[in-house]
């Protein structure tokens, strides 16, 4: 069910600073539990019920009714922001503790119950203990702590801006899709409850009327994406277009903004020129319909072959995540390179890639002769599969196919062991969704124009987290 239409935002949240870590440590040492949420300062923004008897404090945590289908549960939720609806009712944007931020939502006052105090996350407590025990008299330690603090501060500032989802829904072709996360669309569009997105250009519109007028203006044009079609599989009715960001800057900007609605840990600039975009489409009698995409830096010093990956919600659990991952490696091998997804990976991304690497490595190993197995090296395995040596190393260690002996790694492979490990994948027809190499047609990489120099920050920050759909 699509989300109910929400009124535009009105009330702003407080700009008061959070309580310091030192204050929190003092409270913990004293063993006191003051009636305030960790991180919420005295004087934080509040909202009041119409009867004036109960106050809700931004930054505090309350028991909140959360709906899942026809069922409802009570779950701790932190109030992120308050506003007044067009009907004059108080509403609160809440984040449910320990749940994904895609579930954040606006709630009425009657869904908030008693106030609760949540314990600090274990990782935060360990970090505070580590920071407090560090020898800050050593200059190197001071410098390292300052750098770490600056990095956390940038991350916290970004989180403050992006923690409230600004767009609830998008209309993409016949699909009305609930958005998951914040995306930095221009302010006039970012206040819309629903955006209308063109399937071929990803241009965005605030009203159905303006979208339909745009479509009518293109009635005589060929309705196809920019770039080159590099893959087409008639048996699955899918195709892939490669779009070069430096040649199609507006398309790249629009695609990045759209993709950010479904990716939490990415920061964007408006410079798509250092990237290639590979967009996957389903095709039918009505035209092409975007399913997902991945982006890839043209010149990555770390040999990253994928910067971010998105499979849109209506098309998940159809094997498209595995298709996109396998396509990224086929592109890598065609370029005679080895590659790896941008790090760090999310937990879901680690699971997706580890299962892909496991299958590809086992499938390659089982096809080798006994002589080739005995002479196998990590470098040869990397060149054959396109997978970076460190990813091969971690995967083979998890499979007990490699071990450390006298300062070096030794590959230890038995054919029966490989067949046993591969059997569950074969039974599930794991590779049935993979890209078919014979259908991939890439232009000569040397003919691709180089990205113009840019002083802007990269589209993906060094704090970025790559996310990937779980294999299905």
| pLDDT tens digits along 65-92 | 888 777 888 888 898 888 887 678 888 8
Q: Specify the pLDDT at position 48.
A: 47
Percent of the chain with pLDDT over 70: 72
Q: Specify the pLDDT at position 109.
A: 87
Catalytic residue from among 5, 342, 363, 414:
342
Neighbours of 187 (CB within 10 A): 8
Higher pLDDT, 22 or 230: 230
Q: Specify the pLDDT at position 428.
A: 94
The pLDDT of residue 208 is above 90 = yes
Q: Specify the pLDDT at position 128.
A: 44
Q: Specify the pLDDT at position 69.
A: 74
Q: Specify the pLDDT at position 312.
A: 95
Higher pLDDT, 471 or 103: 103
What's the mean pLDDT in 357-386? 93
CB 48 within 8 Å of CB 54:
yes
Read off the pLDDT of residues 406-431 as tens digits, 9 standing for 90 and up: 778 788 888 999 999 999 999 999 99
Q: Specify the pLDDT at position 13.
A: 34
Assign a CATH topology to domain 1-133: SH3 type barrels. (2.30.30)
Q: Specify the pLDDT at position 288.
A: 95
Mean pLDDT of the chain: 77
What's the mean pLDDT in 132-142? 35
In angstroms, how far apart are the furthest CA atoms of the chain?
82
Q: Specify the pLDDT at position 162.
A: 52
Q: Specify the pLDDT at position 16.
A: 38
DSSP type of residue 435: -
Task: Report residue 393's pLDDT band, with 50, 70 and 90 as the boundaries.
Answer: very high
Please indicate whether the domains covering 1-133 and 224-447 agree at the CATH topology level.
no
Q: Specify the pLDDT at position 121.
A: 64
Q: Specify the pLDDT at position 10.
A: 33
Task: Give domain limits for the chain.
Answer: 1-133, 224-447
State the Cα–Cα distance between residues 104 and 99, nearest whole angstrom.
9
Higher pLDDT, 436 or 25: 436
Q: Specify the pLDDT at position 464.
A: 34
Higher pLDDT, 457 or 345: 345
State the Cα–Cα distance between residues 88 and 94, nearest whole angstrom.
19
The answer to whether residue 342 is catalytic is yes
Higher pLDDT, 338 or 137: 338
Higher pLDDT, 303 or 223: 303
Q: What is the pTM of this model?
A: 0.69
State the Cα–Cα distance between residues 239 and 77, nearest whole angstrom.
42
CB 243 within 8 Å of CB 443:
no
CB 470 within 8 Å of CB 348:
yes
Task: Report residue 54's pLDDT band, with 50, 70 and 90 as the boundaries.
Answer: low
Strands (E) across 97-233 are located at 105-108, 112-116, 169-172, 175-178, 194-197, 204-205, 228-233
Higher pLDDT, 305 or 107: 305
Angle formed at CA 380 by CA 375 and CA 386, multiple of 5 degrees: 150
3-state secondary structure 350-395: HHHHHHHHHHHHHHHHHCCCHHHHHCCCHHHHHHHHCECHHHHHHH
Q: Specify the pLDDT at position 84.
A: 83
The pLDDT of residue 471 is above 50 = no
CATH number of 224-447: 3.40.630.30
Burial of 70 (0-12, 13-18, 19+ CB in 10 A): exposed
Q: Specify the pLDDT at position 289.
A: 96
Read off the pLDDT of residues 97-130 as tens digits, 9 standing for 90 and up: 888 777 888 888 888 988 888 887 655 444 444 4
The pLDDT of residue 370 is above 80 = yes
Q: Specify the pLDDT at position 223.
A: 82
CB 19 within 8 Å of CB 39:
yes
Q: Which helix (H) or strand (E) covers residue 410, if one does?
A: strand 408-411
Distances (CA, A) of 98 to 107, 114, 178, 331: 18, 18, 21, 37
Q: Specify the pLDDT at position 83.
A: 82
Backbone angles phi, psi at 25, to 5 degrees: -65, -40
Cross-strand pairs, 241: 229, 279
Read off the pLDDT of residues 175-207 as tens digits, 9 standing for 90 and up: 999 998 889 899 888 777 899 999 999 999 999
The pLDDT of residue 323 is above 50 = yes
State the Cα–Cα distance between residues 238 and 231, nearest whole angstrom.
8
Task: Report residue 255's pLDDT band, with 50, 70 and 90 as the boundaries.
Answer: very high
State the Cα–Cα distance between residues 309 and 295, nearest whole angstrom.
7
The pLDDT of residue 171 is above 60 = yes
């Amino acid at each position: 069910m699509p989300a109910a239409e929400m009124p535009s935002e009105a009330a702003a949240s407080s700009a008061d600073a959070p309580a310091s870590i030192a204050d929190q440590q003092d409270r913990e040492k004293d063993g006191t539990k003051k009636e305030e949420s960790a991180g919420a300062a005295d004087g934080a923004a509040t909202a009041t019920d119409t009867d004036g008897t109960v106050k809700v404090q931004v930054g505090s945590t309350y028991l909140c009714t959360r709906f899942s289908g026809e069922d409802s549960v009570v779950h701790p939720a932190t109030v992120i922001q308050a506003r007044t609806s067009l009907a004059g009712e108080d509403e609160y944007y809440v984040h449910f503790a320990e749940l994904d931020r895609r579930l954040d939502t606006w709630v009425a006052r009657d869904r908030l119950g008693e106030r609760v105090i949540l314990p600090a996350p274990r990782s935060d407590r360990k970090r505070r203990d580590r920071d407090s025990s560090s020898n800050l008299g050593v200059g190197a330690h001071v410098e390292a702590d300052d750098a770490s603090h600056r990095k956390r501060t940038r991350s916290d500032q970004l989180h403050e801006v992006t923690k409230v989802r600004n767009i609830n829904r998008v209309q993409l072709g016949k699909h009305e899709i609930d958005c998951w996360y914040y995306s930095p669309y221009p302010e006039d569009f970012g206040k819309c409850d629903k955006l209308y997105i063109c399937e071929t250009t990803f241009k965005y519109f605030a009203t159905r009327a303006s979208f339909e007028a745009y479509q009518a203006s293109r009635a005589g044009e060929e309705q196809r994406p920019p770039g080159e079609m590099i893959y087409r599989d008639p048996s699955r009715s899918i195709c892939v277009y490669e779009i070069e960001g430096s040649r199609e800057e507006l398309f790249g900007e629009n695609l990045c903004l759209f993709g950010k609605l479904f990716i939490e840990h990415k920061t964007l600039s408006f410079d798509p020129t250092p990237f290639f975009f590979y967009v996957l489409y389903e095709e039918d009698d009505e035209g092409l319909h975007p399913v997902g995409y991945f982006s890839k830096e043209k010149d990555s010093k770390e040999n990253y072959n994928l910067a971010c990956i998105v499979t849109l919600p209506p098309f998940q659990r159809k094997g498209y995540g595995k298709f996109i991952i396998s396509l990224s490696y086929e592109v890598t091998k065609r370029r005679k390179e080895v590659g790896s997804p941008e790090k760090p990976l999310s937990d879901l991304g680690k699971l997706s890639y580890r299962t892909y690497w496991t299958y590809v490595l086992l499938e390659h190993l089982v096809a080798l002769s006994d002589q080739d197995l005995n002479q196998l090296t990590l470098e040869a395995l990397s060149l054959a599969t396109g997978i970076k040596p460190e990813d091969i190393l971690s995967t083979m260690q998890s499979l007990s196919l490699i071990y450390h002996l006298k300062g070096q790694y030794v590959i230890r492979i038995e054919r029966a062991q490989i067949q046993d490990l591969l059997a569950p994948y074969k039974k599930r027809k794991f590779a049935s969704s993979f890209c078919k190499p014979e259908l991939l047609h890439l232009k000569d990489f040397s003919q691709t124009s180089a990205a113009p120099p840019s002083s802007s920050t990269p589209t993906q920050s060094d704090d970025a987290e790559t996310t990937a759909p779980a294999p299905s």
